[in-house]
Structure 1
Amino acid sequence: MTAVDFEAFVDELATVSGTAIMPFFRTALGVEDKSGGGAFDPVTEADKAAEAAIRHRIRATFPSHGVMGEEFGSERLDAEFVWVLDPIDGTKTFIAGMPGWGTLIGLLRNGQPCYGMMHQPFTRERFSGDGGSAKYRGPGGERALRTRSCAGLADAVLYTTTPRLMQEPERRIFSTVEEKVKLSRYGGDCYAYCMLAAGFIDLVIESNLQPYDIVALIPIVEGAGGTITTWDGGPAQAGGRIVAAGDPRIHAAALSLLQAG
Structure 2
Amino acid sequence: MDDDAADIVATAHALADAARAQTLPLFRSPALKPDNKLTKGYDPVTEADRAAERAMRDILAVRRPHDAIIGEEYGAAPGTSGMTWVLDPIDGTRAFISGAPSWGTLIGVTDSDGQALFGLVDQPFTDERFAGGLQVAEVTGPRGRHPLRVRTDVDLADAILMTTFPELSGVGAAAAFARVAGAVRLTRYGLDCYAYALLAAGHVDLVVESGLQTYDVVAPIAVIRAAGGIVTDWQGGPAEPGGQIIAAASPALHAAALHLLGAQ
TM-score normalised per structure 2: 0.95
Cα gap change, 1:25 to 1:235, in 2 (>3 Å): same
| Code of the aligned partner of 2:141 | G
Could you tell me which residue of structure 1 aligns to residue 204 of structure 2? 201
Could you tell me which residue of structure 1 aligns to residue 82 of structure 2? 80
Could you tell me which residue of structure 2 aligns to residue 98 of structure 1? 100
1:119 partnered with 2:83: no
Counterpart of 1:64 (choices 48, 66, 69) is: 66
How far does residue 206 in structure 1 lie from its aligned partner after superposition?
0.1
Q: 2:136 and 2:237 mapped to 1: Cα distance?
A: 21
Check conservation: 2:27, 2:96, Cα contact below 8 A. Answer: yes
1:157 partnered with 2:160: yes
Deviations 1:224-256 (A, max 9, x none): 000000000001100000000011111000001
How far does residue 6 in structure 1 lie from its aligned partner after superposition?
1.5
| Code of the aligned partner of 2:152 | S
Q: 1:86 and 1:223 mapped to 2: Cα distance?
A: 20
Counterpart of 1:16 (choices 11, 15, 18) is: 18
How far does residue 166 in structure 1 lie from its aligned partner after superposition?
2.3
Give the secondary-structure state (helix, strand or coil) at the position aligned to 1:11.
helix
Check conservation: 1:42, 1:92, Cα contact below 8 A. Answer: yes
Counterpart of 2:142 (choices 114, 133, 139) is: 139
Deviations 1:73-122 (A, max 9, x none): 00116641110000000000110000001000001111221110011111
Q: 2:98 and 2:143 mapped to 1: Cα distance?
A: 26
Report how many aligned residue pairs link the two structures. 260
| Code of the aligned partner of 2:160 | V
Cα gap change, 1:220 to 1:161, in 2 (>3 Å): same
Correspondence list, 1:29-44, <5 A: 29-37=32-40, 39-44=41-46
Q: 1:260 and 1:71 mapped to 2: Cα distance?
A: 36
Give the secondary-structure state (helix, strand or coil) at the position aligned to 1:217.
helix
Cα gap change, 1:2 to 1:235, in 2 (>3 Å): farther
Could you tell me which residue of structure 1 aligns to residue 110 of structure 2? 108
Q: 1:175 and 1:103 mapped to 2: Cα distance?
A: 29
Check conservation: 2:5, 2:134, Cα contact below 8 A. Answer: no
Deviations 1:27-54 (A, max 9, x none): 12111111231x3110001000000000
Check conservation: 1:152, 1:253, Cα contact below 8 A. Answer: no
Check conservation: 2:66, 2:80, Cα contact below 8 A. Answer: no
Counterpart of 1:255 (choices 254, 258, 262) is: 258
Check conservation: 2:206, 2:247, Cα contact below 8 A. Answer: yes
| Code of the aligned partner of 2:69 | V
Give the secondary-structure state (helix, strand or coil) at the position aligned to 1:251.
helix
Give the secondary-structure state (helix, strand or coil) at the position aligned to 1:126.
strand
Counterpart of 1:213 (choices 211, 216, 220) is: 216
Stretches of structure 1 that go unaligned for 5 or more consecutive residues are none
How far does residue 133 in structure 1 lie from its aligned partner after superposition?
4.3
Percent identical among aligned pairs is 48
| Code of the aligned partner of 1:118 | V
| Code of the aligned partner of 1:95 | I
| Code of the aligned partner of 1:201 | V
Counterpart of 1:175 (choices 173, 178, 186) is: 178
